[in-house]
Every structure is written in structure tokens, then in C-alpha cells.
Amino acid sequence: MVADQAATTATGRHDYGALMARAKEEAERLVDLSNRGARVLVVTHIDADGLSSGSVAFSALARKNLAVSVRAIPDLDPRAIEKLKADKFEFYLFTDLGSGLLGELSAALGDKFLVVDHHQVPEADLAHARLFNAWNYGYDGGEEACSSSMAYSFAKALDAKGNQDLSALSLVGASGDRQDKGDARSLGGLNKVAVEDAVTQGLVTTTKDLLFYGRETRPVHEAIAMSYSPFIAGLSGAKDAALAALSNSGFKLKEGGRWRTLSELSNEEKQKVIEVISGFIASAGHGADLLKDLVGTIYTFEFEDPLTPLRDAREFGSLLNACGRMDRTDLGISICLGDREDALRQALALMSEYRGKLNKAIQKLQLETDKVSTTGNVMMVMGEEFIEERMTGSVSSLLASSDRFRDKLVLVRAKSGDSDLKFSSRIGDSYPGKVNLGEVMREAAQSVGGVGGGHSMAAGAKIPFSKRDDFTKAVLEKVAAG
């Protein structure tokens, strides 16, 4: 059973003091180890929060002159742990992964590791000595604390003043993990501490506006077409259709021969944009929910070039995500560490390739309906033949944000190696029931000899291919039982 984590947060008892005291304790331990010559490896996950939290931890340790390296991996499993152990580092700092495998980590690494994380863990594991997890301090790790804001707390414990600039990366990780669930899609909880630090430092400004990709830099129709969250069928990924829809509505797209951007529009014109979009989602039934998601709090990094996606925390997160999903975590980490030349150029090219892949997968789904099955509120995509393992999270997130499936629990599966299946699951914002997906995936995977876990709204699992039907049955039963 997972600890009564919801109750902890419902009381509003965030224990920031205890969290920082623990961070300080662990920071001192690490510095002490390193003074005795220890080499440290930061091991992190490949998604946006993984790359930014790994970079925060790496930067903070490197600034203290520790002998530190950073590595991103798609999954931590017993095989991956053995590989890490074989590299013989004296200490391993895990960010954004590891909470589900504390027993295995202890068995392999003794006490020479620390897991800095925000994923849910079974009650029995919460007190594990090598776990530094947001849930232990009253923060809901699904929406109030990401790995990056946990790593930032650790960085502040190492050097409160010197590491305040790393607050900006916490906002990137939190946006990448879609933790913008506060009023007007703002960041709350521990993430808000990072926002406040970043604002105080003059690193970030906050405004409220339409949340499309490239709102300051792209023509309006391109910004709409390049936005995949929420996914709007007929517009997302369809530049020509967006252009046609806006032109047909009499929208003034150009000024003196130059394309206008969303940030230049008047309030009435922004309203018009929403009206045009609503024409594409009117038939879906959850249109009002989706339209609400189009407006919210924008976090702008004042020190970044306005012409790059790094200027906006969400866009920065999308770029990192693309790097991770396209197997170029090196580029993502380089960008987090400050490379604005070659790594950024390559990442921008990768981003278009990544979008192309996502588009192709979505088109395939629309054409080949036998690849999708729906049982009650659960829809499953059998992506073995056309979705790569690293892309399952992106496809499931996209589907769960779409008007068509935002009332569904989405499961996307793909082949993993020769004998395993990878599952990514997401709950759409308009899902009518109550399910703790992290718990469902962990227990269902365990029941067939696999590994699973995550958050209440987003979770994953890896299981033996031969057990796919037993696994699906276990998931459906657990979802039906609530």
C-alpha cells in the first residue's frame, strides 16, 4: 500500500525546514566523502525533469570541486544497477529515478548512494535511510515537487547563495513534468520556492497569456500547429490547416508584410484565436476543459535569447524532452550546463525530427484502428510495430491531453529489447474516476514479474512480453476496483 500521501498534503503541512535540514545533512556527507577522494556519479532519467535535475545536482557538486560525472538512463532496473555497480564509483546520486528499487540499490551499493526523487513509494520504503523524497516532507510529488526542485534544495544546502541561479532549471523540470496545476496553470509547493528564488534573482518574470509554442517568435498559425499539449486534432502538427482556419475567420495574420506573433495580439484578437480553435474541438464533449488549458502563467527567462525556445520554461522543457526521447541526452545536459552554440543548434534540429515522429505515430493510430482497443475508460495502444520504446511517454502524454481521449486512462505499449514490453500510462485531465496510476502499474507489473511505478496521473512499467495479457488484465481489474 502507498502511504496516505494525499492526506499529508491535504493538511497543507509542507515541512520545508525538515526537507532542508535533511538536504544539508546529505550535502555535508557528500562533501566529506569527496574530501576523502570519492568519485561521484549522478544517474538521472532521460525526460525533461531527469535532465534538468541531473544537471542541477551535477553543477552543484562540480562547483564544490567534487570529482563528479553525470549519466542519463531510460530506466533503472536490476540489470542497469549491476552495470552501474561495475563502474565502481564511490558514490551514486540518483535523481528522478530509484525510489521503486531501494532494496535492490542497497543490496548492490550498500549505503553509497542517495535517491533524490519525487515519485511515490510504498509506505514501508518511505523511511529508507538513503531516500530523499518530496513525499516525506508533505509535498505531493505529482504536482508540487519535481526532481529538479528536490535537486535544487540539495544544491541550496551545498551553497545557498552560489547556487540560486539553478532555480531556473527547477522551473524547466517542473514544467516538463506538467506540474503547472495551480491557479492559472502556475507552479506551487516546492516548485514555487524555486520560482520565488528565480524571481528575486531577476532570472524569471511571470505573465499570463495564451500558452502556445513560440508565442514571441513564431507566426500565429505556426505557434498553434507546433503546440502539442493540449493536442488539438486537426491543428496540432498541421500548419496549413491552422493557417487556413485563421485566414477564413478574417484574422489579420500579417502586418506590413511580416507575420505577427501571438504576443503582439490584442485581447480581442486572442479571444478570436480561441474561438477559431474551439471550432476544432466543439464535438468532443470536453472542450471547455481543454480551452481552459490554453491560457496560463508563463515563466520567461530574461537572460535567454528571445529567439530561442530556452526563453520559456515550458518550451525549454519540451526541447529537453525531445533530446531525451531521441536518444541525445548529451545535448540536453550540455544545454542545461550552458551550451548555447553547437548543442542548442543540434537540439533544435532534433526537435523537428521528434515532432515528425510523433505526428507519424498519431497518423498511424488514426488509420489503423486495430492498433487501439478501448475497455470502459481505458484505451490501449498496441504500438509494438510503430512506436519506439523511448517515445511511449510522449505518445501517451499527447493522447491524454487530446480532446478525444482526455476522459480516458491511456496505456501505450512498445517493444523493449527482444523479450520485454514497455508501458506508459497517463490519466487525462477529464477522467471521471479516481485511480492511483503509480500504484496500479507497480502492483500489476510486480504480479507478472516486471517493474512499474510513477505518479498518480503518469506512470510506467516494463514486463515480460509473454505476460502482456495477464498484465493488461491486472491493470483493468485494479482500475475497475478504484
What interhelical angle do 329-336 and 342-367 show, nearest 10?
130
Q: Measured from the CB of residue 454, what is the shortest distance to ligand C5P in angstroms?
A: 3
Of the candidate spans 7-15, 124-132, 244-252, 452-460, the one that interacts with ligand C5P by CB under 6 A turns out to be: 452-460
Euclidean distance between CA atoms 407 and 427, whole angstroms:
8
- Per-position DSSP letters for 123-159, written without gaps between them: GGGTT-TTEEEGGGGT--TTTT--HHHHHHHHHHHH-
Euclidean distance between CA atoms 162 and 197, whole angstroms:
12
Residue 142 interacts with ligand C5P (CB under 6 A): yes or no? no
Euclidean distance between CA atoms 247 and 90, whole angstroms:
62
Residue 175 interacts with ligand C5P (CB under 6 A): yes or no? no
Instruction: Indicate which single residue of 226, 298, 458, 475 sits in contact with ligand C5P (rule: CB under 6 A).
Output: 458
Residue 141 interacts with ligand C5P (CB under 6 A): yes or no? no
* Residues contacting ligand C5P: total by CB under 6 A: 16
Instruction: Indicate which single residue of 387, 459, 474, 476 sits in contact with ligand C5P (rule: CB under 6 A).
Output: 459
Would you report the helix, strand and coil content of the chain in percent, each value rounded to 5? 50, 20, 30
Residue 460 interacts with ligand C5P (CB under 6 A): yes or no? yes
Residue 461 interacts with ligand C5P (CB under 6 A): yes or no? yes
Q: Measured from the CB of residue 220, what is the shortest distance to ligand C5P in angstroms?
A: 31
Of residues 339-398, those binding ligand C5P (CB under 6 A):
392-393
Contact assessment for residue 23 and residue 156, using Cβ atoms and an 8 Å cutoff:
yes
Q: How far is CA 125 from the centre of its chain?
A: 23
Residue with Cβ nearer ligand C5P (39 or 467): 467
Q: Measured from the CB of residue 393, what is the shortest distance to ligand C5P in angstroms?
A: 3
From the list 301, 131, 312, the residue with the least C-alpha distance to 214 is 312
Residue with Cβ nearer ligand C5P (332 or 453): 453
Q: Measured from the CB of residue 460, what is the shortest distance to ligand C5P in angstroms?
A: 3
Residue 5 interacts with ligand C5P (CB under 6 A): yes or no? no
**If DSSP codes are grouped into helix, strand and coil, which group holds residue 95?**
strand
Residue 119 interacts with ligand C5P (CB under 6 A): yes or no? yes
CA angle (137 as vertex; 132, 141 as ends), nearest 5: 75
Residue 115 interacts with ligand C5P (CB under 6 A): yes or no? no
Residues with Cβ within 8 Å of 78's Cβ and at least 6 positions away in sequence, in order, are: 101, 104
Instruction: Indicate which single residue of 54, 98, 100, 383 sits in contact with ligand C5P (rule: CB under 6 A).
Output: 100
List of residues contacting ligand C5P (CB under 6 A): 45, 97, 100, 119, 392-393, 424, 451-455, 458-461
